[in-house]
């Protein structure tokens, strides 16, 4: 058994989650290269399958599907920045790393990936969003580290106001939240890989500022 699967609890190991085959992802998106812009989350039409999470952690030919929601913070109509947070809790591979994306494994109890995204955001920062409030912008497909090699990110954005941002109710998994401003200031800590990909994409950040 690989180290990553040994780190899982029995409950998480047995959780049945969505995945796509790496081969098909490469056919549709090209070789792993970070952020891949796309018009919608159904247009690529990669077939989704289900398998136990523990088995998927050991198989790089299958990519676990993860929604990755970037929350843009506004003061009226003025963009102020992106919600950033640092993590604590059960996921040791991401412990104390800074992130701008919310999401998690899409299990068989979720109707689709958007429903997963809304559930995870509710659980982590007690923010209620509707699937229709999520704007799909593309995929994260990267081989940079061990976590990325067995996952694929479905990237969405959503908007919240400053008052909501300042009154979030954080779960035990979140250490702190802050505002990542467009001049590069944010929470202390090393960015996890997917957030580095998002924040390193100049065109994407320019879209966030609009």
Sketch the domain layout of the chain as residue ranges: 3-209
pLDDT at 2: 47
CATH of 3-209, one of 3.20.170.30, 2.170.120.12, 3.90.1170.50, 3.90.79.10: 3.90.79.10
Q: Which two tokens stand for residue 44?
A: 């690529």
pLDDT at 36: 93
| Residue 123: Cβ within 10 Å count | 13
What is the Cα–Cα distance from 86 to 172, expressed in whole angstroms? 11
- Asked if 162 contacts 73 with a C-beta cutoff of 8 angstroms, the reply is yes
pLDDT at 71: 97
CA dist 208 → 29, 56, 73, 175, 201 (Å) = 23, 33, 10, 25, 11
pLDDT at 185: 87
pLDDT at 24: 95
3-state secondary structure at position 155: strand
What is the Cα–Cα distance from 38 to 178, expressed in whole angstroms? 28
- Asked if 65 contacts 152 with a C-beta cutoff of 8 angstroms, the reply is yes
Core vs surface per residue 50-82: b (16+ CB within 10 A) or e: ebebbebbeeeebbbbbbbbbbbbeeeeebbbb
Tell me the Cα Rg of the chain.
Answer: 16
Q: Mean pLDDT by 10-residue block, N- to C-terminus, for the chain (210 residues)?
A: 60 94 94 89 82 94 97 95 84 72 95 97 96 95 92 96 96 92 85 93 84
């Amino acid at each position: 058994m690989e180290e990553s699967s040994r780190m899982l609890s029995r409950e998480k190991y047995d959780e049945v989650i969505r995945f796509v085959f790496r081969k098909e992802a490469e056919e549709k998106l090209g070789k792993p290269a970070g952020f891949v812009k796309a018009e919608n989350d159904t247009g690529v039409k990669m077939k989704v399958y289900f398998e136990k999470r523990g088995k998927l952690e050991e198989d790089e030919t299958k990519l676990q599907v993860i929604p990755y929601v970037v929350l843009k913070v506004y003061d009226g109509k003025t963009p102020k920045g992106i919600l950033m947070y640092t993590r604590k809790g059960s996921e040791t591979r991401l412990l104390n790393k800074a992130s701008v994306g919310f999401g998690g494994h899409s299990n068989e109890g979720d109707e689709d990936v958007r429903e997963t995204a809304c559930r995870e955001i509710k659980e982590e920062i007690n923010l209620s969003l509707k699937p229709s409030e999520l704007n799909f912008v593309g995929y994260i497909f990267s081989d940079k580290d061990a976590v990325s090699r067995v996952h694929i990110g479905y990237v969405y954005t959503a908007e919240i106001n400053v008052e909501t941002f300042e009154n979030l109710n954080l779960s035990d998994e979140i250490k702190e939240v802050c505002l990542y401003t467009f001049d590069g200031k944010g929470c202390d800590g090393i960015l996890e890989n997917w957030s580095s990909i998002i924040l390193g994409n100049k065109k994407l950040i320019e879209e966030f500022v609009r």
